């Protein structure tokens, strides 16, 4: 099966051509991603961004899952791990679709110089870019649970050059990391290589 790509909104994903990703696999995304790109599946859990997406008309034409959906505006109710954050839920949707390899992109976890690290910082329904970085411990726990629930799938998290790998994930055998700059030549306007071939380059 073609790989799945799950997009968070950390700054590291800006280096990757999202349109090229969609040519090679199914794309899952979160929150304000819809402003710039239409993934195959969009997830939001916070009320503010959920309402923004619904009232934009996006969910009437595209697949959108929310915690408390307005079905009249096209939204659907989240089916998996209802209390989790939007990013981990998007990963869960990809896992349930049975992709052999799932690439997790833009899940940077740590902030940018101690402040917010989000493509949409300082825009509607997001914190100001100068605010302190968001605590990411809950994301680490939620993703670890999902990795362990799907032991026969490979989860590849792309990280920037100075990216971190949580200690909790080091013992999880089906999770690996790959540098963004190692991944980019395989996707940005170049022929896609089969997932098994890509895996040989993963650290």
Parts of the chain with a pLDDT under 50: 189-203
Domain count, the chain: 1
143-196 pLDDT tens trace = 999 999 999 999 999 998 888 899 999 999 999 999 988 887 767 644 444 444
- What is the reported pLDDT for 126? 93
Provide the domain limits for residue 99.
4-199
* Residue 124 phi, psi dihedral angles, 5° rounding: -55, 135
Cα gap 154→35, rounded to integer Å: 29
CATH number of 93's domain: 3.90.1480
Label each residue of 115-158 as H, E or C: ECCCCCCCCCCCCCCCCECCCCHHHHHHHHHHHHHCCCCEEEEE
Q: CB-based burial of residue 132 (10 Å sphere; 0-12 exposed, 13-18 middle, 19+ buried)? A: exposed
Give the pLDDT confidence score for residue 194 in this predicted structure. 41
pLDDT of residue 155: 97
């Amino acid at each position: 099966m073609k790989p799945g790509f799950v997009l968070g909104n950390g700054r590291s994903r800006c280096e990757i051509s999202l349109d090229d990703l969609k040519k090679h696999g199914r794309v899952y995304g979160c929150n304000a991603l819809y402003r710039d790109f239409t993934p195959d599946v969009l997830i939001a859990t916070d009320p503010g961004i959920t309402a923004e997406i619904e009232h934009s008309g996006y969910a009437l034409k595209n697949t959108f899952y929310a915690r408390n959906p307005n079905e009249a505006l096209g939204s659907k109710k989240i089916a998996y791990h209802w209390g989790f954050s939007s990013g981990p839920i998007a990963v869960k949707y990809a896992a349930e679709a049975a992709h052999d390899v799932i690439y997790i992109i833009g899940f940077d976890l740590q902030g940018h110089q101690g402040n917010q690290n989000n493509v949409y910082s300082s825009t509607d329904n997001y914190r100001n870019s100068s605010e302190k970085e968001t605590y990411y411990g809950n994301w680490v726990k939620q993703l670890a649970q999902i990795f362990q629930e799907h032991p026969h799938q490979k989860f590849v998290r792309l990280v920037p050059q100075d990216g971190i790998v949580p200690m909790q994930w080091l013992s999880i055998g089906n999770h690996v990391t790959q540098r963004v700059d190692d991944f980019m030549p395989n996707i940005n306007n170049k022929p896609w290589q089969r997932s098994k071939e890509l895996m040989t380059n993963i650290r």
